[in-house]
Amino acid sequence: MRHLLLLCAGTVLVVLETTVAPFLAIHGARPDLVVVLVVLVGMLWGWRVAALVGLFIGFIEDACSGQFLGLFMLTRTVVGMGAGMSYARVFQDRVVVPVVLVFLGALAGGVLHVFLLSSFGVPVLLSVASFKTIVVQALYSAAFAPLLLKGMARLDLYMKRMAERRQAV
């Protein structure tokens, strides 16, 4: 049930990223809500769940983009696994660590995305301006982390209560 809800939430975030996020762009950088979701899933439920969620939501993003099938799948999976593995090793805080981890995950995802695009032969300008865009996008994504974290914490609490009710019956 949790996985289905996470995939539905991820699909909604993909739709929001493609429709609403371009209107929120700041100097060409827009928030990457899917990375925020995948990093937070890694923090809350571990790297395996984050890898699966990243894989399936990345497939949805690849299907929507229509180019380079597997690019988003790979970047989202790697970012989710990295977030899940690193969160177990750092001090767990309620706000600061998730924001920093989302920033680092979005930064790593952006760099990996550019690297893979250049590996596929797409001419990508590796300049200071493109790196600044990746950093601004990572900062912008990190700003959305507390909002999504609160929603995911509520989802986790709801799922725990549902499991308790099933066991009580």
pLDDT tens-digit map of 72-93: 999 999 999 998 888 766 656 6
The pLDDT value recorded for residue 88 is: 66
- When divided into structural domains, the chain yields a total of 1
Distance CA 106, CA 3 (A): 22
Q: Would you say residue 60 has pLDDT above 90?
A: yes
Per DSSP, the three-state class of 29 is strand
Q: Would you say residue 166 has pLDDT above 60?
A: yes
Q: Choose between 10 and 120: higher pLDDT.
A: 10
Residues in the chain: 169
Distance CA 30, CA 140 (A): 7
Range of the domain at 126: 2-168
The pLDDT value recorded for residue 92 is: 62
84 contacts 38 by C-beta, under 8 angstroms: no
Q: At what angle do helices 33-45 and 96-119 cross, to 10 degrees?
A: 120
The pLDDT value recorded for residue 90 is: 66
The pLDDT value recorded for residue 57 is: 94
pTM, two decimals, is 0.86
Cα–Cα distances in angstroms (integers) from residue 8 to residues 42, 90, 96, 106, 149, in the given order: 17, 29, 27, 21, 16
The string of pLDDT tens digits covering residues 117-139 is 888 787 777 666 678 888 999 99
CA 103 vs. chain centroid, Å, equals 10
Phi, then psi, of 26 in degrees rounded to 5: -120, 110
Distance CA 143, CA 130 (A): 20
Tokens of 22: 């371009």
CATH number, domain of 101, equals 1.10.1760.20
The string of pLDDT tens digits covering residues 98-122 is 899 999 999 999 999 888 888 878 7
Query: Cα 70–71–76 angle (5° rounding)?
Result: 100
- Sign of the Cα torsion 153, 154, 157, 159 reads negative
Give me the helices (H) in the chain, please.
2-19, 33-45, 47-65, 71-87, 96-119, 128-143, 145-168
